[in-house]
Amino acid sequence: MLFVKTDLLFAQEHKSIHQIEQEKYSKVKIEDNTIITHFPSRTNYLLNKTVFGWNPSWVGTAYTSYNYNLLSHVAYFSYEVDTATGGYTTIYYWNTTNLIPLAHSYGTKVVLTVTNFGSSKNIALLSNPFKRQTLINTLISLIQYRNADGVNIDFESVPYSQRQNLVTFMTDLSNAFHTQIPGSHVSICLPAVDWNNSFNVPALNSVCDLMLIMGYDYYWSGASIAGPCAPFESNGFWGNYYVKNSILYYLNNGASTSKLALGVPYYGYKWPTQTGDLKSNTTGTGTAYTYSSMKTNAITYGRLFDTYSLTPWFRYNSQGWYQGWYDDSVSLGIKYSYVNTQNLKGIGIWALSYDGSNSELWNTIEHYFTTPSSITEEGGTANNFRLWQNFPNPFNSETHIKFSINQKSFTTLKIYDINGKEIKTILNQFLSEGNYSKSLNLSEYSSGIYFYNLKTNSGSITKKMIYLK
């Protein structure tokens, strides 16, 4: 990946989804004075990866509906830097939000995201030691005041001239936090493509607890061609920049797997386009929509799946063509599987609440990033095994069945049709204690309801699944 050391490269200056939405909602003041009276019940699984979610101030009290059992960190978005002083222009409701005690009641850490967007603002802040120190001191005070857990730095369009100053700032910030607030967490956002080589990855890796690749906006609102916001692959069709390549770039340039996480989009873009074909030119600026909105559009107009980028999209003609590109449980599952394959630290989510009342994105996290704690089935009886819901479900090609056993056991996993007839045996052997996942393809059978049964020496569990051709 070739980098051009210039502070004027256009691609570095396009506004990210973080900046676009911060500017869009900067005047929106949603008072946060919710009194929490009910907490969701805990579950019997444990996260085995970092799951870091940004909570934008403009979503109000949506945080009351998050599944904190599946969140290791929540970042309140955001502290907007006053580059004249190093202080802030706003911190919204950081000083009063009930997000912090609620998240803490589940053992979820809460950090404050610090935003500074644009090369001129980053030059103004990072080139001035006094402003940098003012920012550090202010952040220490704000985190201590709320008994929170750390900070997340989101500086975007950092010019190459500030490469060393950024390292100096992050070093001083991390040292201050780790000294004055033991156990605190300091993270930084990395661009999907470091166009200007402004991020000294080995140096940042040595001082940060977590580095989050913003693995989206590969095709942004002002793109001349409609395309995937977060293409996992390119397959020679979408060019040289895609999620897998971004991950490998950072791993090959000094990031350790124990500190690198992949940020994923819970949003998409819809553009007016010349045609309904792939790679159509856009005829106007794209608009960002939440996952829940994009899902509704895909249901209405027909969900398509791009096999080049491995992401979903839709198109329709209404006095002109429109294309929408986004991520869903299938495309996110592909990315999560790669996170596990590469043994990355985990994922980040932009942004929490953008999935609305839909549960499938939470289910995807549970499927890929949890292990059982105490295995308890209905009726409160502790068993020595657990069977997850197959994923995805419903499915139209392949699905995966995940299970765990706590002791060596002869284990069978069988599939039954709606009439109770056994149609397939997936597993029939002794297994050692551990977590397992088996693939299932029902392409030779008709659409309908099927059942899968896991049987061990300790008992049996059956679950339902739906196959749609």
Residues 102 and 146 in one domain: yes
Residues 357 and 441 in one domain: no
Angle between helices 119-126 and 163-180 (to 10 degrees): 60
Residues 338 and 406 in one domain: no
In single-letter form, the type of residue at position 448 comes to G
In this structure, of 232-241, 269-278, 391-400, the range with the lowest mean pLDDT score is 391-400
**The pLDDT value given to residue 468:** 81
Q: What is the mean pLDDT of residues 91-97?
A: 97
What are the two backbone dihedrals, phi and then psi, of residue 402, each rounded to the nearest 5 degrees? -110, 135
In a domain, 35, yes or no: yes
- Residue 440 maps to which CATH number? 2.60.40.1930
Residues 295 and 390 in one domain: no
- Beta-bridge partners for 462: 453
In a domain, 380, yes or no: no
Report whether pLDDT(375) > 60: no
Residues 397 and 300 in one domain: no
Report whether pLDDT(35) > 50: no
Residues 277 and 397 in one domain: no
Domain limit, last residue, from 324, 339, 370? 370
In a domain, 300, yes or no: yes
- Residue 183 maps to which CATH number? 3.20.20.80
Domain limit, last residue, from 370, 404, 427? 370
Q: List CB contacts of 54: < 8 A, sequence separation 6 or more.
A: 74, 75, 77, 113, 348, 349, 350, 351, 352
In a domain, 378, yes or no: no
Q: What is the mean pLDDT of residues 199-224?
A: 98
Tens of pLDDT, residues 142-163:
999 999 999 999 999 999 999 9
Residues 277 and 210 in one domain: yes
What are the two backbone dihedrals, phi and then psi, of residue 58, each rounded to the nearest 5 degrees? -75, -5
In a domain, 430, yes or no: yes
Beta-sheet pairing, 398-405 with 304-306: unpaired
Q: Which of 210, 82, 68, 91 is nearest to 153 (CA)?
A: 210
In a domain, 376, yes or no: no
Beta-sheet pairing, 448-456 with 409-416: antiparallel
In a domain, 377, yes or no: no
Residues 79 and 227 in one domain: yes
Residues 124 and 154 in one domain: yes
3 band by pLDDT with thresholds 50, 70 and 90: very low
Question: pTM above the 0.75 mark?
Answer: yes
Residues 314 and 403 in one domain: no
Residues 304 and 441 in one domain: no
Q: Which residue range is the domain that position 414 belongs to? A: 385-467
7 band by pLDDT with thresholds 50, 70 and 90: very low
165 band by pLDDT with thresholds 50, 70 and 90: very high
Domain count along the chain: 2
Whether the CB-CB separation of 248 and 339 falls below 8 Å is answered with no
In a domain, 379, yes or no: no
Residues 279 and 418 in one domain: no
